Chain A
């Protein structure tokens, strides 16, 4: 009788033991992690909050000094003014011309620099020639040269050929400075692809461009998205090259933002400044939000295997 009881107890235990997916329980550790994440998110979002509420307040309300409060009197005028009529030095057209200049510069520089870097990386991985490794070494070294060192020679060079302070000039400058890191990105991506793919293409009769366009290009979509994000944010946020190389006609948004914020005539309109800053930062932010998932995926694709 006792043995019976023991054996039935055992079999019942075996049946009622853990089975199937483990239930997810909220442990203390987990709560701690979430609390920490939420707190850090709030901390980093605080400046953005201040910027947004300030941009929606009227100047008298701002002077009251309640930094974090939601505006008592909601106004969108600062945004309109920042976009349309704020003064940058002499002319008062707001950020609008700068925005379109930035769009022009980015829309030209991003594809040009990426296409060149892609071809560079492809040639350096698959069509090795005497000295190609050396050339690659020099290019990578270029990534570590401080920009300031090359600016003066570049000004001289570009003005010699009449491109200083022109749109093509600034596009060339962005292309040159994007080259090392982009070439590195693409070379490493292509080097991670099986070399047999390239050999198969050659046996099938495709040449340099045939293999590039028909085999390699379709495979480089993920890495190209990474390159686009890098370049769009980098070029949009650029201030230094824009100031130096773009010329008055092509001043990018960042430079105009600076002019609006630091303008010395009249009173400091904090609400307009905040609105202008958010407007300028919006483009890279939007790019991140749209492509964040792709960005992570692309980095992984480049790091492991296509």
Chain B
């Protein structure tokens, strides 16, 4: 696998504010990388650095093996799609698509061929003579993607391309982007703060916080083996349950009220002391199912939230609140006493002081 985008020791400051610090990232040819993180963590900033729209304070950026740190955006072999579409309002769709090519003084025939191909792929041929105001949000975003497409570049950069659209359209376009990637096999770097988008689209997800990549891994690993408390809490909805306790050997004692044996949890770096057991709501079983689990306990239901496909219930164990997800058929009501159970092997254990997985 060859490297497509390589970021080495990248730093970026706005005046005294350090937004990115010594960031390293290697993206393989044809890979779909999603940058995910809370608002203000520097995702757009990183993308703008890769695009060449911001001058980096330190470090290097390589695209397709070429050092592009000082290159103009147009010379980097990238196409970019913005959250606000950023279509040129006075130009028709066709002119919007061909603008970059006309600036580069490409022959007319070649421009026409490329616009035709892009508009076919994105199914916007009937819209070519319209102005952006005459398009719906989904159509505008398609044109914006088309503008990157015609440039025939190696790397696509997306900055929250779907976040201005309604839920239904977002789902549709998400599938289209996935299809597009399968067809074109370009490298794509995609910024979002929607975890569903991240989980469904990404080959690998980079979770960012305060300008630092916390974990870079495939969606399965991010979901099941988060490296620290931040990643664990950020991914998943409802979010992961955290049970605070004291770890000695393989037993977590919770406030002296309960002892949870972590028998089949595979420690990477066992450290005794204050620890946190993270267990996802969907990994907690209830009723008959719970009887098969290594850890079982009685608890009383406090709140029930029926979601349609399943039900989320809130309860407490050893004084700490816990949510779990049950099948919609399971009858649950507040005040009911139920048996719940889970397998610590599917959970994550973190050191309370460092927040890191152990």
| Partner-binding segment picked from B81-89, B221-229, B236-244, B311-319 | B81-89
Q: Are B79 and A215 neighbours in the complex by a CB distance under 8 Å?
A: no
In the complex with contacts A214-B99, A218-B90, A200-B80 CB distance below 8 A: yes
On chain A, the residues within 8 Å of B84 by CB distance are: 194, 196
Residue of B86, B89, B99 touching A196 (CB-CB under 8 A): B86
Contact with A along B160-204 (1 / 0, CB 8 A): 000000000000000000000000000000000000000000000
On chain B, the residues within 8 Å of A194 by CB distance are: 84, 86
Q: Are A196 and B73 neighbours in the complex by a CB distance under 8 Å?
A: no
On chain B, the residues within 8 Å of A205 by CB distance are: 72-74, 100, 103-104
On chain B, the residues within 8 Å of A218 by CB distance are: 90-91
B147 within 8 A of A: yes
Minimum Cβ distance to chain B for residue A283 (Å): 31
Chain B residue nearest in CB terms to A194: B84
A206 within 8 A of B: yes
Q: Are B83 and A196 neighbours in the complex by a CB distance under 8 Å?
A: yes
On chain B, the residues within 8 Å of A204 by CB distance are: 74, 99-100, 103, 147, 151
Contact with B along A215-256 (1 / 0, CB 8 A): 100110000000000000000000000000000000000000
A306 within 8 A of B: yes
Q: Are B82 and A199 neighbours in the complex by a CB distance under 8 Å?
A: yes
A202 within 8 A of B: yes
A297 to B87, CA, bound (A): 23
B51 within 8 A of A: yes
B78 within 8 A of A: yes
Q: Are A203 and B100 neighbours in the complex by a CB distance under 8 Å?
A: yes
Residue of A196, A197, A206, A306 touching B103 (CB-CB under 8 A): A206
Minimum Cβ distance to chain B for residue A195 (Å): 9
On chain A, the residues within 8 Å of B135 by CB distance are: none
A201 to B96, CA, bound (A): 10
A141 to B265, CA, bound (A): 69
List residues 48-102 of chain B with CB under 8 A from any CB of chain A: 48, 51-53, 72-74, 78-80, 82-91, 99-100
Q: Are B53 and A202 neighbours in the complex by a CB distance under 8 Å?
A: yes
Q: Are A210 and B53 neighbours in the complex by a CB distance under 8 Å?
A: no
Number of interface residues, chain B, beta carbon within 8 A: 26
Q: Are A203 and B104 neighbours in the complex by a CB distance under 8 Å?
A: no
List residues 210-265 of chain B with CB under 8 A from any CB of chain A: none
A200 to B52, CA, bound (A): 12
Minimum Cβ distance to chain B for residue A305 (Å): 11
List residues 158-189 of chain A with CB under 8 A from any CB of chain B: none
In the complex with contacts A196-B82, A205-B74, A205-B103, A219-B147 CB distance below 8 A: no
A214 to B91, CA, bound (A): 9
Chain B residue nearest in CB terms to A221: B90
Interface secondary structure of B, over-half rule: loop
Q: Are A197 and B100 neighbours in the complex by a CB distance under 8 Å?
A: no
Chain A residue nearest in CB terms to B81: A200
On chain A, the residues within 8 Å of B104 by CB distance are: 205
A168 to B284, CA, bound (A): 84
Minimum Cβ distance to chain B for residue A132 (Å): 14
A215 to B79, CA, bound (A): 18
Minimum Cβ distance to chain B for residue A196 (Å): 4
A205 to B106, CA, bound (A): 12
A200 to B78, CA, bound (A): 11
A196 to B88, CA, bound (A): 10
Q: Are B88 and A215 neighbours in the complex by a CB distance under 8 Å?
A: yes
Minimum Cβ distance to chain B for residue A128 (Å): 12
In the complex with contacts A194-B84, A210-B103, A214-B99, A203-B89 CB distance below 8 A: no
List residues 31-89 of chain A with CB under 8 A from any CB of chain B: none
On chain B, the residues within 8 Å of A215 by CB distance are: 88, 90
Chain A residue nearest in CB terms to B95: A214
On chain A, the residues within 8 Å of B72 by CB distance are: 202, 205
Chain B residue nearest in CB terms to A197: B86
On chain B, the residues within 8 Å of A203 by CB distance are: 51, 53, 73-74, 78-80, 100
In the complex with contacts A196-B84, A196-B86, A218-B90, A202-B73 CB distance below 8 A: yes
Chain B residue nearest in CB terms to A205: B74
A206 to B103, CA, bound (A): 6
Chain B residue nearest in CB terms to A204: B100
Contact with B along A266-306 (1 / 0, CB 8 A): 00000000000000000000000000000000000000001
Pick from A199, A201, A206, A219 the residue with the most CB of B within 10 Å: A199
On chain A, the residues within 8 Å of B48 by CB distance are: 199
A199 to B87, CA, bound (A): 11
Minimum Cβ distance to chain B for residue A55 (Å): 46
Q: Are A202 and B74 neighbours in the complex by a CB distance under 8 Å?
A: yes
Minimum Cβ distance to chain A for residue B73 (Å): 5
Minimum Cβ distance to chain B for residue A28 (Å): 43
Q: Are A199 and B80 neighbours in the complex by a CB distance under 8 Å?
A: yes
Chain B residue nearest in CB terms to A206: B103
In the complex with contacts A194-B84, A215-B88, A219-B89, A199-B99 CB distance below 8 A: no
Chain A residue nearest in CB terms to B83: A196
In the complex with contacts A205-B103, A206-B103, A200-B74 CB distance below 8 A: no
On chain A, the residues within 8 Å of B78 by CB distance are: 203
On chain B, the residues within 8 Å of A201 by CB distance are: 88, 99
On chain A, the residues within 8 Å of B88 by CB distance are: 197, 200-201, 214-215
On chain A, the residues within 8 Å of B83 by CB distance are: 196
A204 to B147, CA, bound (A): 9
On chain A, the residues within 8 Å of B82 by CB distance are: 196, 199-200
Q: Knowing that A200-B86, A203-B80, A206-B103 touch, tell me 5 more A-B residue pairs with CB under 8 angstroms.
A: A199-B51, A200-B87, A204-B151, A205-B74, A214-B99
A-B contact pairs, 17 of them (CB 8 A): A196-B83, A196-B84, A199-B51, A199-B80, A200-B82, A200-B147, A202-B72, A203-B80, A203-B100, A205-B103, A206-B103, A210-B103, A214-B99, A214-B103, A215-B88, A219-B89, A219-B90
The 3 closest A-B pairs by CB, nearest first: A205-B74, A204-B100, A196-B86
Interface residues of B (CB under 8 A from A): 48, 51-53, 72-74, 78-80, 82-91, 99-100, 103-104, 147, 151
